């Protein structure tokens, strides 16, 4: 099975800071990686699909990059409403496979 | 408008069974990739099960052999039959739908979630 290693597990940035989260796959997954935002009591929200595609309606301060085994998620200027836990998620079509990373919890300093 | 409304959560004893339903409106469940994810208290997100539009299914190792995903096209619902429930299955369960037929993993539509508590 493919393992996803996400880091760091938590961050305490300030408003306006640049935030970077990384996700490492145990083997080449091409661009089969999504990024989700999850706030307590809310449904998960897809931000980035297929490594670098910004989901419709998501602010442009969010971005994703990478391919193969190393992926990066960036918030260019952190806003108070961005406080949440962020997850990378590997996916595969055949056979179907969906695996979340361990998550990165953001708390504003 | 796409809407997903989960139901069927509640308190169940270890070893018991529960059936979750996700009522869909604004589209047909048979034409889309759909699935269930869960948030375990104090832990991260986990994809529990996904059914592809062609019928292929995915199950997390933690639920394989105990949970079954299915679609009831006549009622336009997605279901999750959960058997042999364990305390570690306690979670908020979310129903989700992919963007369209071309994206098997682009889950942009989500329900509000239903809480399952497994406890004696």
Average the pLDDT over B51-59 and give the result.
89
Q: How far is A45 from chain B (nearest CA, A)?
A: 7
Give me the percent of chain B exceeding a pLDDT of 70: 100
Residue B63: the pLDDT is 97
pLDDT tens for residues A2-23? 899 999 999 999 999 999 999 9
Cβ neighbours of B111 in A, within 8 Å: 43
Residue A109: the pLDDT is 79
Query: Among A5, A39, A96, A100, which would you mutate to test the B interface (most chain B Cβ atoms within 10 Å of its Cβ)?
Result: A96
* Structure token pair of residue A55: 């989901």
Q: How far is B120 from chain A (nearest CA, A)?
A: 25
For chain A, the average pLDDT equals 95
Compare CB distances from A38 to B45, B57, B96 and report the shortest one's residue. Answer: B45
The answer to whether residue A94 scores a pLDDT higher than 90 is no
Taking the alpha carbons of A18, A83, A36, A11 in that order, is the dihedral positive or negative?
positive
Residue B15: the pLDDT is 98
Residue B104: the pLDDT is 85
Better-predicted residue by pLDDT, B71 or A97: B71
Cβ neighbours of B113 in A, within 8 Å: 43
Q: Are strands A10-11 and A33-38 parallel, antiparallel or unpaired?
A: unpaired
For chain B, the average pLDDT equals 95
pLDDT tens for residues B85-102? 999 999 999 999 999 888
């Amino acid at each position: 099975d493919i393992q996803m290693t996400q880091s760091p597990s938590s961050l305490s940035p300030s408003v306006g800071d640049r935030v970077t989260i990384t996700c490492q796959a145990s083997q080449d997954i091409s661009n089969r990686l999504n990024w989700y935002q999850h706030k307590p009591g809310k449904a998960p929200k897809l931000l980035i699909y297929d490594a670098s595609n910004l989901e419709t309606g998501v602010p442009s301060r969010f971005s994703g990059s990478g391919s193969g085994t190393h992926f990066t998620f960036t918030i260019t200027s952190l806003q108070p409403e961005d406080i949440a836990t962020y997850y990378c998620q590997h996916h595969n079509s055949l056979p179907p496979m969906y695996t979340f990373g361990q998550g990165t919890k953001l708390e504003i300093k | 408008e796409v809407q997903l409304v989960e139901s069927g959560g509640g308190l169940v004893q270890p070893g018991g069974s529960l059936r979750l339903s996700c009522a869909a409106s604004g589209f047909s469940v048979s034409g889309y990739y759909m699935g269930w994810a869960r948030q375990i208290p104090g832990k991260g997100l986990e994809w529990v099960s996904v059914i592809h539009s062609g019928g292929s299914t995915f199950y997390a190792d933690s639920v394989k052999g105990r949970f079954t995903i299915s679609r009831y096209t006549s009622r336009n619902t997605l279901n999750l039959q959960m058997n042999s429930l364990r305390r570690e299955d306690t979670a908020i369960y979310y129903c989700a739908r992919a963007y369209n037929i071309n994206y098997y993993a682009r889950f942009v539509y989500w329900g509000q979630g239903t809480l399952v508590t497994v406890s004696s």
